Amino acid sequence: MADQPLLAGIDIGTTNIKAVIFEPTGSVVAGASVSTPIHYPQPGWAYYDPTELWQAAVTVLRQATDQIADTGRIVSVAVASAGEAAVPLDAQGRPTYDAIAWFDQRTQPQTEWLAHAIGQDRLFEISGLSLQPIFGLCKLLWIKENQPEAFARTVRWLNLADYIAYKLCGVPATDYSLASRTLVLDLQKLQWHEPLIREVGLRPDLFAPLCPSGAVLGHITPAAAQETGLPTTVQVAAGGHDHVCGALAVGVTQPGLMLNSMGTAEAIFLPLEKPLLDPTMGQQGYTQGAHVVGGQYYVLIGLYTSGACVDWLREIMGETTDFTGLIAEAEQVPPGSLGVCFLPHLRFANPPHDDPKGRGAFIGLSTDAKRGVLFRALLEGLAYEARYSLETLLAYPGMAPLQQTYISGGSTRNRLLVQLRATILNQPLIMVDVAEATSLGAAILGGLGAGIYADTTSVGNTIRHNRITIDPVPDNVPVYNAYFEQVYKHIYASLRDLHHRVYQLQQS
């Protein structure tokens, strides 16, 4: 309807920055996307220039709003982003340093110091997080130690979504889902853990005021309205962590449901009624946090290179490689990829292995392993890895039995990847046809803040999705079970010492 309100959602993603404008039913009215500007100054390092991020957000918002005849219908905007990258700001709101990318590996020394000074189990008890280099505290400590002049000027630490919202409305704040990725949120109390913050030599006021996801922060500033094309009446609401916003968009808000969000990185997301405190979970790399749905929590399996593995292999094969043809070649390869297996640890090892020094590998190579074999083996390895991480997690007391599994994200367009995932997991997958789930989740939070939805129950009754079920291929299940049990589960342990030796040699 031409007079109904519209909701804007922004997704500050690893690969792309998107702005999408939705009707309250979830239908897309307008949208735009640009590549995320990212810099790689040396191996293991990656960062965002905050000014470039803001200009990219302005660009996509302007391109999206230009497609709307009556922009006055847009009532709200909210932002989602990765949860482990942030912008340090001075007292005038200017960046004091670059935003270190979530997957940047320079913070390993700070991670090791925290393990010694605070302890991995204590950090898990407080935050629900496994101690890993990606989290915000590690990055803030790196800046303190390596960029003391920039740190001395820093008065505020804003996650990427918080920073864009701040640029839109001038209010610094962070929701509980993004705060969950810093290492210093008391997950049970949903408060900053001030004793821990002081213990590591930081000031509690560096961290932004906390608020629920969807809380109204304020109206857009006149300057931001002029730059973006949004009307001055737009309310800016607190957004959230990208994977959690995606879960809201597809309705994964209750225990027993699972969302496998498949993109550059991959998240396996399972809602919880309350945090689980078994320290072994943290030791194995599983992380917990606050859901964007009030009163709910989640446990997350982060698979740090998923679509990134596919992009890596395609780049090696040559930029002119036809992706559709490559998939067709891989479909002709028998299950098991002629004995070739792939360990997808191209950035870090994934849960249940909490090992930032882990590395990826192909094993079982022979002269028969042409590019179709390698590509299929890579896709199978991603599915094996998801199964291994999930089965280990579901064995913990307090985990609800899995009832339904939903998949979303850009990688679901790879038909072979999706089919292999269903077969290797040996369970039906429900592919939710959601246009830009992360942006939609952010837009829903904005709609909640603006009163377009009464609550998350009414969201579920309003949003409309098409669903497609992908079933396993029964004849292939025994083959994959054999490879999984007899080969895949043993690859990491067999190569661990060699990979650690490689890491040490690289540091020398």
Q: Could you read off the pLDDT of 382-395 as tens digits, one per residue?
A: 999 999 999 999 99
- Enclosing H/E stretch for 278: none
Nearest to 187 by CA among 58, 89, 54, 282: 282
Q: Show the tokens assigned to 33.
A: 């996307």
Contact 253, 296 (CB under 8 A): yes
Please give the Cα distance from 471 to 377 (Å, whole number). 20
Confidence grade of residue 240 (pLDDT, cut at 50, 70, 90): very high
Residue 435 has pLDDT above 80, yes or no: no
- Close Cβ partners of 257 (under 8 Å, ≥ 6 residues apart): 251, 270, 271, 403, 404, 405, 406
Question: Of the candidates 63, 384, 410, which has an alpha carbon nearest to the alpha carbon of residue 229?
Answer: 63
pLDDT at residue 460, rounded to an integer: 80
Q: Which range, of 147-151, 422-426, 461-465, averages the lowest pLDDT?
A: 461-465
Query: Which of 356, 341, 254 is closest to 304 using CA atoms?
Result: 356
CB 210: neighbour CB atoms within 10 A?
Answer: 18
Q: Which two tokens stand for residue 92?
A: 């005038």
pLDDT tens by residue, 339-396: 999 999 998 899 999 888 899 999 999 999 999 999 999 999 999 999 999 999 999 9
Distance between CA atoms of 471 and 419, rounded to whole angstroms?
Answer: 8
User: Which residue type sits at 484?
Assistant: F
CA distance 84 to 106: 14
Q: Which residues of 352-362 are buried (b: 16+ CB within 10 A; e: fewer)?
A: bbbbbbbbbbb
pLDDT at 319 over 70: no
Average pLDDT of the residues in 72-98: 97
Encode pLDDT of 241-292 as tens digits: 998 999 999 999 999 999 998 888 888 999 999 999 899 999 999 999 999 9
The single-letter DSSP state of residue 409 is S
Give the mean pLDDT of the chain.
94
Helix (H) or strand (E) holding 195: helix 194-199
Extents of the domains making up the chain = 6-243
Tally the residues of the chain: 508
CB 483 within 8 A of CB 340: no
What's the whole-number mean pLDDT along residues 189-203? 98
What is the per-residue pLDDT for 1?
54
Q: What percent of the chain shows pLDDT beyond 90?
A: 86
- Residues 6 or more apart in contact with residue 446 via CB below 8 angstroms: 7, 8, 9, 75, 76, 77, 78, 214, 235, 236, 237, 239
Place of tokens 């300057």: 223
Alpha-carbon distance of 456 to 248, in angstroms, equals: 8
pLDDT at 434: 80
User: How far apart are the C-alpha atoms of 285 and 300, rounded to whole Å?
Assistant: 9
Q: What is the 3-state secondary structure (H, E, C) of 232-277?
A: CCCEEECCEEHHHHHHHHHCCCCCCEEEEEECCCEEEEEEECCCCC
Looking at residue 465, its pLDDT comes to: 83
Query: Cα–Cα distance between 372 and 9 in angstroms, integer?
Result: 38
39-43, 61-65, 199-203, 302-306, range with the lowest pLDDT? 302-306
Full-model pTM? 0.87
pLDDT of 56: 98
CATH (one of 3.40.50.300, 3.10.20.70, 3.30.420.40, 3.40.109.10) for 6-243: 3.30.420.40
